[in-house]
Structure 1
Amino acid sequence: MKNIDSRTHVRGESVYLDDIPLIRGTLFGAAFGSPVAHGKIKNLDLSAAQAVPGVVKLFTYKDVTGENQIGGIVPDEPLLAEHHVHYCGMPIVFVVAESEDIARSAVKKITVDIEPLPIITDPREAQAKGELIVRPRTHKLGDTATAWAQCSHIFEGRTETNGQEHLYIETQGAYAVPQENNGIKLYSSTQGPTAVQRAVSRSSGLAMHKIDVDVTRLGGGFGGKEDQANMWAALCALAAHVLRQPVKYSLHRMEDMAMTGKRHPYSSDFKIGLDDHLKIIAYEATFYQNAGAAADLSPAVLERTLFHCTNTYFIPNVTATAYSCRTHLPPNTAFRGFGGPQGMFVIEAAIAKAAEELGIEATVIQGANLNKTGDEFAYGQKAVSEAHACWDKAIELYRLEEIRARIDQFNSVNLLTKKAFSLMPICFGISFTNTRMNQARALVHVYTDGSVGVSTGAVEMGQGVNTKMLQVAAQTLAIRPERVKLQTTSTYRIANTSPSAASATADLNGKAVELACTEIRERLKVVAAGELQTTAEAITIQDEWVYVNGNRTDWDWNRLVMEAFTKRVSLSEHAHYATPAIHYDASREKGHPFAYHVYGTAIVEVTVDCLRGTYEMESVKVVHDFGVSMNPLIDRGQIEGGIVQGLGWMTMEEVVYDKEGRLRSNALSTYKVPDLYSVPKEIAIEPLKTEQDNLAIFRSKAVGEPPLMYGIGAYFALRKAIRAFNPTAIIPYDAPMTPEKVLMALYPPRATPGSVRSAHEQTEVTARLAVNS
């Protein structure tokens, strides 16, 4: 089945926040953010801004009608700065005016005197000074302290992974419309309608039932709108509540980049020990998470880093400790993978370090340590593993030995161009790690003409979840998909929603839809049994017809629905689903937090231009654990997008803040994302066919987040290509691997040419450099 939004997308008819017709009297907002990263506000001068014609009101923290606080996990994030500022761009004033241009013009006339305070941008410095968001967390398995004695080979190192800009096509924004009886209708570009509802309730002082958050779809989210949409919605709602007029604010792209958080950068240490058979006996890792100035979702992201710190490997002795460090950057937040990729990068770096020191391929160590069913993760859950099946199938299907031989032959005859490959196995847990969030509801109405309306807590943001919800309803009711319509996501229809995140959206909401439709179907079977003088067990509904013991009757779907209505049988159902069997005890750091795991293996090939430091992604060939995909077209699209986004994080997307906490990569001229010319020339995706039962909807495993981790393989393939040119290259485990870093590794400063290559090779390189210049 095709994505149900495809037609309106390509015709420009899909409705996003900026497509909502404006109500007469709508006002427009703009935020004035702090020009410095840390300081004490000495004086705030609003007089020039207030004098701008068309300015209606300037809101400061003094105008907040409820609590000046939007922090979720930790209450440490004011809606508007009070006496101190903690990052560049922190909102101090919210300007409301008659037009967007007037509001932005007034923002430029605000002046503020801020007494500077020390600025921290490095998470290690923050940890050393005790600047932590929450207490440190540690996962343990076995005893690493005694296990080192069993290791024949021990290696230590340090890694750095940078942030990543979400760069959703639709920026952050909200449109608040006052309703009668002090209510607010709030259109928000958010992945978490209930999170917005809570933040608005808290900051406005209105009860949650007064606030209806309505979302048709997002122009992308990637985690950046899970919590960070709250601020902009709360500002618009506050202004609308006070002024009793509609208020809209859509951030400019450069505002969005400067004022919102990114993927968390991490600085990490590792220590890995192997025996003579290359089995990993012990592993220790310490993670320093750069949380930014407020908690946002950092504690939860940190937790998932620990959950995924051993990736797909079984290691009997593990100690992993993580610090969530408070710095003076915008609060970092959820991003596809939610801390898992940062943890996986470190274990892959540790394996790469061991392999390089031992003079073997990393694949030898990787393959020798893949987990199997029954192995225990450091957090206590037992694996139901597809790791070996994915690994073995990828090697066989894509003919790894031929790839290796072809690359070796190419490198032997090409001096200034080198190729390399890497294997990247993944294991990613599916569920919110906060157990209480693993619940969802669905409201299904069957109308008397036989059409069906479905409301869920799922937010459509390009991942195709609405299509999957429609499929669940149509399949369960045995009707044509054309009969089903997905309604907008509204906190009035579906309350207390979990955000569309954690790759759990289709599972949670799909199961709720299935329950609701099943209940309605069973009622209809009872009605049919009464009319056809048989039992409900003898009744089935197939292709919109009623069958008795497998024989089609003259009762169709429309007739059955109308008969149920005539007999006053409910044609509506509100169903609740909670993922069974999952639990986690954070005090012991043990439990069963995931409904299931997704496995896979990618073979990544790269080519490096050793003259210029540039590179090409030749191919990413994947065997992926789909389970039983309910929509292969959508799932393949998600995998392709995840792969490319992961490649971007690992290669070209470099978030740069200066020591003063100012974002330097603040526009698309200075922040590069993969385009048509930088995506892999070939992406091959092969499903791993399995019959194992799981808790996924229709056994169709999640594909939102896991594929991003395949991109990590590109980093290690580039390392191998660099070392094929310069075997003595010293390459820090510092991602992303930008062309500048590649060039510096190929030709390290102060390196003696003869120590890198033969005199003949150096002569040829020098000659080609001269020709090129």
Structure 2
Amino acid sequence: MRHFETDPPPNEHRVVGQAVAHDSALLHVSGRAHYVDDRVEPANCLHAYPVLSTIAAGTLVSIDASQALALAGVVRLITAADIPGRHDIGPVFPGDPLLVETEIRYHGQPILLVIAQTYDLARRAAQLVKLEYQTAVPLLDIHQALQDQSFVRPPHRIARGDVDAALSLAAHRLSGQLHLGGQEHFYLEGQVALAIPQDDGAIHLHCSTQHPTEVQHLTAQVLAKPMHAVTVEMRRMGGGFGGKETQAAQWAVLAALAATLTGRAVKIRLARSDDFRITGKRHPFFNTYEVGFDAEGRVSAADIVVNGHCGHSPDLSDAIVDRAMFHADNAYFYDQVRIVGNRCLSNTASNTAFRGFGGPQGMIVAEALMDDIARALGKDPLAVRRANLYQPGRQTTPYGQQVTQFVVAEMIDRLAHDAQYDTRRAAITAFNRNSPIIKRGLALTPVKFGISFTAQHLNQAGALVHVYNDGSIHLNHGGTEMGQGLNTKVAQIVAQVFGVSLDRVAISATRTDKVPNTSPTAASAGTDLNGMAALDAATKIKDRLLDFVAERYHAARDDIEFGADRVTYPGGELSFAELANLAYLQRISLSANGFYATPKIHYDRELGTGRPFFYFSHGVALSEVEIDILTGESSVTQVDLLHDVGHSINPALDIGQIEGGFIQGMGWLTNEELRWNDQGALLSAGPATYKVPAIGDTPTRFSVQLYESANPEVTVFRSKAVGEPPFMLANSVWCALRDALASLTDYRYAPPLDPPATPEKILQAVTVARHWQKQNQQERRDD
């Protein structure tokens, strides 16, 4: 087995661990970064635009495109009948037709494609196509889907012990339910693709995708070509957040189909409003829970059901609902536990991956439980959380994985001390007692997030490294850059291996003809996977150089050091560039491909047990909020975050991810509200009706600290993933809002508050809290 330099370097040469700027930072802020839509279009490039369904369910009866075809500059239409190969582009399970054949499954479903000489003409022509339908009643409500047992995939169940018996014996019991809203990805760069036919019949695709290999695979199948006839290239995305993991494929495949049929380059770019309507979102969920607990608030039994609102097809819903189930414990041990996950079908766009991939929808159940238990017992919610944390002797998850790293308790203690939790808790309680309109809330919540793809085969990556004879280095890997700084981190890893400065390493666009069979950049595993693959490739070359120097200069390998752009050995040294040129002259190979597959992970779906995650990433958040009980308006006034990144590859990028993830999570829980009408049409189809957090929503005081702890598992330089886990630190905002509302009941009851906690929902919760308090006071008088 190859030896990897997985521990932080002991010498003075440190590229890994440095706060280096994102490799495209200046390009981003100056507007010089090139995205797919910025590429110079080939000569005679055509433009395509889809014709969309205006009903959510029914059958397509006829198409009248005469007016569209009469427009000068409209080249042709493409329908399902023009597809030479596979019609279904479902990423895992079938159910996603490229274009409608007869059945219409959701409002906005692409029916056909208009090809024209300009973008504006293609859009205008698409509006002129007349469609005739036989309509059906759409299924839009998750409760109706549950009643009808209408699922895109079968239910799944994990359990331990006799939950029903434990509930019946519990000293205290309570139950609850939670409706969770979806979330629009709101990437700055929308769905876009450019397909260029090659002279040998092949297709070269530029598209904004998190999964180039999947786009390659589906394009080849639709065109009935081998995969080698399709090359997918992706330099950078203007954001993805999961929305381009599977759902970028349709537009790339359509562009490739159009280019093949016309023999000319074809570009597709969705207008923002259509991007909103057509593409799936974060899955809305409806969750229920019943819990038994003792006088200290320690959970003895938990019965949890998570119901994902999946849309019309499976897409990635099976794995997303699985992850919601896996994270319904968060950082807490449930002695006896049963967790059931349902995947509900509806006539809406198929919901898809989104940062956290179901984890947030499961984890928030655990936080709701802790708050509800605390209110029922009259305890501080933080005390109940501490009582239920995983610890030695209480370390087995509901799915059988052992939690072997216990840092959450120490992280809670550190943050509570540094951010003065006890003092602020007392001050807020006193403030609320004397403030009739403005109420404040405080909550400290943990995160334990599993790192790995839940689909085992995706936990692999490849990389390609070239050292040129001038000492410069070329790097290519299978990950995709969407603004998170993956390329910078992987370049730092390669520079560290060779002991050179970062500016010697250049990264080229992700391409399926350089690194094949890649996994999506998702599941927070971009650096874990591609960084290790690059480390493997660079180490292979370094091993050859070590052997060469050892033989040429009669030195022991252990006495040779790479650092500060030089290579030293007993009795001499030479620059890295000199060594590279010398090795080239001696015919030493200076190129290598690398590969990495995550070890140890497995999951038996039939038994509902295994080790689906390589390790866990942790975080702790303390949020303080204010609400106006007359208007329902809320604000987040102070946030303190402590996040576990292992040994950070790049602290600046990690802090940026933590800040961005938290704000995005805060948006999901507070103000990002999706609305559909009763016919299944999305009403919140643009920034005028769908509000993401703005700069003014940033907490006045926003502190982020990194918790340094070596990853106990062998990861690249003992780092930990950072992309998704910070999103769930925002649970503390939702819990703080409930804490503020609980002040209306002397902290004995927190009213239901379904995210997003809009002003309307906060006002409803205020009414419920006042009613509870009035009823409770009447009962005490009666007693």
TM-score (norm 1): 0.95
Equivalent in the alignment of 2:756: 736
Equivalent in the alignment of 2:452: 431
Tell which deviates more after alignment, 497-506 or 349-358: 349-358
Equivalent in the alignment of 2:134: 115
Q: Is residue 718 of structure 2 the alignment partner of residue 699 of structure 1?
A: yes
Is the contact made by 2:461 and 2:529 (CA closer than 8 Å) also made in structure 1?
Answer: yes
Equivalent in the alignment of 1:337: 356
Q: Is residue 617 of structure 2 the alignment partner of residue 571 of structure 1?
A: no
Q: Distance in 2 between matches of 1:741 and 1:129?
A: 29
Structure 1 residues 756, 275: closer, same or farther in 2, change over 3 A? Answer: closer
- Within the candidate set 27, 48, 57, 1:38 is matched to 57
| Residues 496-531 of structure 1: per-residue CA shift (max 9 Å, x gap) | 110000000101000011111111111111111222
Equivalent in the alignment of 2:437: 416
Equivalent in the alignment of 1:519: 540
- Within the candidate set 8, 11, 29, 2:30 is matched to 11
Structure 1 residue matching 2:274: 3-state secondary structure: helix
Tell which deviates more after alignment, 270-279 or 459-468: 270-279
Q: CA deviation at 1:724?
A: 2.0
Q: Is residue 223 of structure 2 the alignment partner of residue 172 of structure 1?
A: no
Equivalent in the alignment of 1:630: 649
Q: CA deviation at 1:720?
A: 1.8
Equivalent in the alignment of 1:486: 507
Equivalent in the alignment of 2:743: 724
Equivalent in the alignment of 2:408: 387
Equivalent in the alignment of 2:681: 662
Q: Note the 1:287-366 alignment, pairs <5 A.
A: 287-366=306-385
* Partner AA of 2:309 in structure 1: N
Root-mean-square deviation over aligned CA pairs: 1.8
Is the contact made by 1:349 and 1:733 (CA closer than 8 Å) also made in structure 2?
Answer: no
Equivalent in the alignment of 1:533: 554
Q: Distance in 2 between matches of 1:371 and 1:751?
A: 37
Equivalent in the alignment of 2:115: 96
Is the contact made by 1:452 and 1:484 (CA closer than 8 Å) also made in structure 2?
Answer: yes
Is the contact made by 1:696 and 1:702 (CA closer than 8 Å) also made in structure 2?
Answer: no
Is the contact made by 1:69 and 1:202 (CA closer than 8 Å) also made in structure 2?
Answer: no
Q: Which runs of 5+ in 1 are unaligned?
A: 759-773
Is the contact made by 1:158 and 1:733 (CA closer than 8 Å) also made in structure 2?
Answer: no
Q: CA deviation at 1:405?
A: 1.7
Equivalent in the alignment of 1:745: 765
| Residues 243-282 of structure 1: per-residue CA shift (max 9 Å, x gap) | 1100001111101000000000001110011022321011
- Within the candidate set 529, 539, 542, 2:563 is matched to 542
Equivalent in the alignment of 2:232: 213
- Within the candidate set 351, 359, 370, 2:389 is matched to 370
Structure 2 residue matching 1:113: 3-state secondary structure: strand
Q: CA deviation at 1:541?
A: 1.7
Q: Distance in 2 between matches of 1:188 and 1:578?
A: 26
| Residues 694-723 of structure 1: per-residue CA shift (max 9 Å, x gap) | 233211211100010011121121122123
Q: CA deviation at 1:540?
A: 2.0
Equivalent in the alignment of 1:556: 575
Is the contact made by 2:751 and 2:768 (CA closer than 8 Å) also made in structure 1?
Answer: no
* Partner AA of 1:449 in structure 2: D
| Residues 676-706 of structure 1: per-residue CA shift (max 9 Å, x gap) | 1112112212222324532332112111000
Q: Distance in 2 between matches of 1:428 and 1:38?
A: 38
Structure 1 residues 755, 583: closer, same or farther in 2, change over 3 A? Answer: closer
Structure 1 residues 748, 148: closer, same or farther in 2, change over 3 A? Answer: closer
Is the contact made by 1:729 and 1:745 (CA closer than 8 Å) also made in structure 2?
Answer: no
Q: Is residue 82 of structure 2 the alignment partner of residue 63 of structure 1?
A: yes
Equivalent in the alignment of 2:8: none
Is the contact made by 1:236 and 1:247 (CA closer than 8 Å) also made in structure 2?
Answer: yes
Structure 1 residues 749, 548: closer, same or farther in 2, change over 3 A? Answer: closer
* Partner AA of 2:549 in structure 1: A
Equivalent in the alignment of 1:47: 66
Q: CA deviation at 1:298?
A: 0.7
Q: CA deviation at 1:7?
A: 1.6
Q: CA deviation at 1:587?
A: 1.9
Q: Distance in 2 between matches of 1:520 and 1:752?
A: 70
Is the contact made by 1:726 and 1:746 (CA closer than 8 Å) also made in structure 2?
Answer: no
Q: Distance in 2 between matches of 1:698 and 1:367?
A: 31
Q: Is residue 130 of structure 2 the alignment partner of residue 131 of structure 1?
A: no
Q: Distance in 2 between matches of 1:752 and 1:340?
A: 32
Equivalent in the alignment of 2:492: 471
Structure 2 residue matching 1:133: 3-state secondary structure: strand
Q: Distance in 2 between matches of 1:669 and 1:32?
A: 24
Is the contact made by 1:726 and 1:757 (CA closer than 8 Å) also made in structure 2?
Answer: no
Structure 1 residue matching 2:355: 3-state secondary structure: coil
Q: Distance in 1 between matches of 2:485 and 2:143?
A: 40
Structure 1 residues 750, 528: closer, same or farther in 2, change over 3 A? Answer: closer
Q: Is residue 520 of structure 2 the alignment partner of residue 499 of structure 1?
A: yes
* Partner AA of 2:455 in structure 1: N
Q: CA deviation at 1:754?
A: 7.7
Q: Note the 1:264-275 alignment, pairs <5 A.
A: 264-275=283-294
Is the contact made by 1:729 and 1:746 (CA closer than 8 Å) also made in structure 2?
Answer: no
Is the contact made by 2:738 and 2:753 (CA closer than 8 Å) also made in structure 1?
Answer: no
- Within the candidate set 609, 623, 642, 1:604 is matched to 623
Q: CA deviation at 1:659?
A: 2.1
Is the contact made by 2:655 and 2:706 (CA closer than 8 Å) also made in structure 1?
Answer: no
* Partner AA of 2:765 in structure 1: A
Structure 2 residue matching 1:70: 3-state secondary structure: coil
Q: Distance in 2 between matches of 1:525 and 1:376?
A: 45
| Identity value in percent | 38
Equivalent in the alignment of 2:462: 441
Q: Distance in 1 between matches of 2:198 and 2:407?
A: 53
Q: CA deviation at 1:750?
A: 11
Q: CA deviation at 1:236?
A: 0.3
Q: Distance in 2 between matches of 1:520 and 1:435?
A: 29
Q: CA deviation at 1:667?
A: 1.3
Equivalent in the alignment of 2:91: 72
Q: Is residue 728 of structure 2 the alignment partner of residue 709 of structure 1?
A: yes
Q: Note the 1:151-162 alignment, pairs <5 A.
A: 151-162=170-181
Is the contact made by 1:226 and 1:501 (CA closer than 8 Å) also made in structure 2?
Answer: yes
Q: Note the 1:227-238 alignment, pairs <5 A.
A: 227-238=246-257
Q: CA deviation at 1:755?
A: 7.3
Equivalent in the alignment of 2:694: 675
| Residues 391-419 of structure 1: per-residue CA shift (max 9 Å, x gap) | 11111121111111221232233221111
Equivalent in the alignment of 1:771: none
Q: CA deviation at 1:534?
A: 2.4
- Within the candidate set 202, 205, 230, 1:183 is matched to 202
Structure 1 residues 127, 335: closer, same or farther in 2, change over 3 A? Answer: same
Structure 2 residue matching 1:310: 3-state secondary structure: coil
Q: Which runs of 5+ in 2 are unaligned?
A: 1-19, 779-783
Is the contact made by 1:526 and 1:535 (CA closer than 8 Å) also made in structure 2?
Answer: no
Is the contact made by 1:372 and 1:387 (CA closer than 8 Å) also made in structure 2?
Answer: no
Equivalent in the alignment of 2:215: 196
Q: Distance in 2 between matches of 1:85 and 1:729?
A: 46
Structure 1 residues 447, 261: closer, same or farther in 2, change over 3 A? Answer: same
Q: CA deviation at 1:746?
A: 2.5
Is the contact made by 1:194 and 1:496 (CA closer than 8 Å) also made in structure 2?
Answer: yes
Q: Distance in 1 between matches of 2:347 and 2:208?
A: 26
Structure 1 residues 565, 617: closer, same or farther in 2, change over 3 A? Answer: same
